[in-house]
């Protein structure tokens, strides 16, 4: 990137936030802090009203806006790719807003670029299969949840619990949205339970504002919640599994639909960590792998695997003695 392009990019980035740290600019554009200081000084000398605040960062003085900037081919194509993911992995409220945004982006492209984008659209598809194809729930609350998170507004939910299969009325103070296991989850302080809880957004039947605001200083952040997930929400479990490399190749893409978090290469095997809300469901997924996997934790998962194996043996008429030997009891 030449200096003119970099200065333009820095100016655009400065307009994305109220205050931008010099360290953020250095990381974003892969340059030294010294170069950041020099480039910002060049913008100021060119008449751009860049202000600075000691210990905080740089900001653009209110009222100044950069004239509309044309999108490059790669930028427009990346938005098309993002749109394909938004279409499959969000709800109606987000899809509607993104489609409007993409239309505005497309409208400023040159004719040749519009043709290119239209042609590319036909050659990209995303296959994403949620757990339930037909949902009895509205599944259009993500935008409202985002507003509530930013505005610190308490929400009232009619929520269907997959564990008790009951609908309960909850008042919550939202701290964030978290995507895992093929679904978006609202993480919030539940006033009914007096603790942090995880609500799948696609299981919310009714969502409305309570009419009051909460003090976010009394709550932990989403990052802190995820770091202490085991203590904060007992409905979710960390599962550690060691896979033989042959099984790892087979499950490489499927793992993302079952709460995959991280993995560690052990040579001939791979240790993976998952986050699941239903151990029984998770263990049924692993069952066909047989002796190509080893469940390390939690102990309850190993017990479930033994029960599932015994059920299969009983179903196919295997003698109990063989079942005991096979399960290691």
Answer yes or no: is pLDDT of 147 > 50: yes
| Residue 284 C-beta-side C-alpha neighbours within 13 Å | 6
What's the chain's average pLDDT? 85
Structural domain contains residue 126: no
46: domain CATH number is: 1.10.10.10
Instruction: Evaluate whether 60 touches 15 at the Cβ level (below 8 Å).
Output: yes
Say whether both 152 and 200 belong to one domain: yes
Q: How wide is the angle at C-alpha 251 spanned by C-alphas 247 and 253, nearest 5°? A: 150
Q: Does residue 129 lie within any of the structural domains?
A: no
Do residue 309 and residue 256 come from a single domain?
yes
State mean pLDDT over 57-64: 85
Same domain, 108 and 47: no
> Residue 187's domain is classified under what CATH number?
2.30.30
Give domain status of residue 86, yes or no.
Answer: yes
Q: Which domain holds residue 29?
A: 3-60
Residue 132 lies in a domain: no
Tell me whether the omega of the peptide bond preceding residue 168 falls within 30 degrees of 0, making it cis: no
- Find out whether 184 and 177 touch, Cβ atoms under 8 Å: yes
Same domain for 153 and 106 = no
223 and 179 part of one domain? yes
CA-to-CA distance for 43 and 298, rounded, in angstroms? 56
Mean per-residue pLDDT for 31-54? Answer: 91
Helix or strand (DSSP H, E) at 50: strand 50-53
CB 185 within 8 A of CB 131: no
Q: Are residues 211 and 289 in the same domain?
A: no
Residue that is written with structure tokens 């892969």 in the block: 30
SS (H, E, C) 192-254: CCCEEEEEEHHHEEEEEEEEEECCHHHCCCHHHHHHCHHHHCCCCEEEEEEEEHHHHHHHCCH
Q: Do residues 249 and 186 both lie within one domain?
A: no
- In this structure, the answer to whether residues 206 and 257 fall within a common structural domain is no
> Per the structure block, which two tokens stand in for 23?
């360290």
Instruction: Report the number of distinct structural domains present in the chain.
Output: 4
Q: Is residue 127 part of a domain?
A: no
Listed residues 20, 39, 60: the one ending a domain: 60
Same domain assignment for residues 154 and 116:
no
The last residue of one of the domains, among 200, 232, 264, is 232
Q: Report the alpha-carbon distance of residue 96 to residue 121 in Å, rounded.
A: 18
Residue 19 neighbours by CB distance under 10 Å:
14
For residues 200 and 207, what is the distance between their CA atoms, to the nearest angstrom? 12
What is the model's pLDDT at position 323? 45
pTM value is 0.62
134 domain residue, yes or no: no
Two structure tokens written together for 48: 């751009």
2 pLDDT more than 60: yes
Give burial (CB, 10 Å; 0-12/13-18/19+) of 255: middle
CB 39 within 8 A of CB 7: yes
Q: Could you tell me the pLDDT band of residue 65, with boundaries at 50, 70 and 90?
A: low
Same-domain pairing of 225 and 242: no
Q: How far apart are CA 275 and CA 282, in angstroms?
A: 10
Residue 244 lies in a domain: yes
Same structural domain, 251 and 294: yes
Q: Is residue 202 part of a domain?
A: yes
Residue pair 222/180 in contact (Cβ under 8 Å)? The answer is no
The tokens describing 293, both together, are 């996997």
| pLDDT, tens digit, 9 for 90 and up, residues 226-274 | 877 655 445 678 899 998 887 766 676 678 778 888 889 898 889 999 9
Q: pLDDT confidence of 66, banded at 50, 70, 90?
A: low
Identify the domain boundary among 30, 60, 90: 60
Q: Specify the pLDDT at position 38.
A: 94
| CB 44, CB 50: distance < 8 Å | yes
pLDDT score for 21: 92
């Amino acid at each position: 990137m030449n200096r003119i392009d970099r200065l333009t990019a820095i100016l655009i980035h400065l307009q994305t936030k109220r205050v931008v740290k010099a360290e953020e600019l250095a990381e974003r554009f892969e340059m030294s802090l010294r170069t950041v200081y020099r480039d910002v000084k060049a913008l100021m000398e060119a008449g751009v009203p860049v202000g600075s605040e000691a210990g905080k960062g740089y900001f653009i003085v209110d009222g100044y806006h950069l004239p509309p900037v044309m999108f490059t081919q790669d930028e427009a194509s990346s938005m098309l790719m993002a749109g394909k993911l938004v279409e499959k992995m969000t709800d109606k409220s987000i899809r509607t807003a993104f489609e409007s945004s993409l239309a505005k982006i497309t409208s400023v492209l040159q004719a040749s670029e519009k043709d290119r984008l239209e042609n590319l659209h036909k050659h990209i598809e995303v296959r994403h299969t949620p757990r339930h194809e037909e949902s009895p729930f509205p599944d259009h609350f993500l935008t409202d949840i985002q507003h509530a998170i930013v505005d610190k507004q308490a929400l009232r939910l009619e929520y269907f619990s997959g564990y008790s299969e009951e609908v309960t009325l909850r008042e919550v103070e939202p701290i964030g949205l978290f995507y895992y296991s093929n679904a978006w989850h609202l993480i919030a302080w539940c006033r009914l339970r007096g603790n942090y809880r995880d609500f799948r957004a696609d299981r919310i039947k009714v969502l409305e504002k309570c009419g009051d605001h909460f003090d976010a200083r009394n709550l932990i952040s989403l990052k802190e919640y995820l770091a202490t997930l085991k203590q904060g929400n007992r409905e979710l479990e960390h599962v550690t599994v060691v896979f033989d490399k042959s099984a790892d190749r087979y499950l490489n893409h499927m793992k993302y639909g079952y709460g995959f978090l991280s993995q560690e290469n052990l040579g001939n095997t791979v240790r993976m960590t998952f986050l699941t809300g239903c151990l029984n469901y998770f263990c049924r997924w692993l069952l066909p792998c047989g002796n190509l996997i080893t469940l390390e934790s939690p102990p309850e998962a190993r017990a479930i695997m033994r029960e599932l194996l015994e059920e299969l043996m009983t179903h196919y008429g295997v003698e109990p003695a063989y079942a005991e030997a096979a399960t290691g009891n």
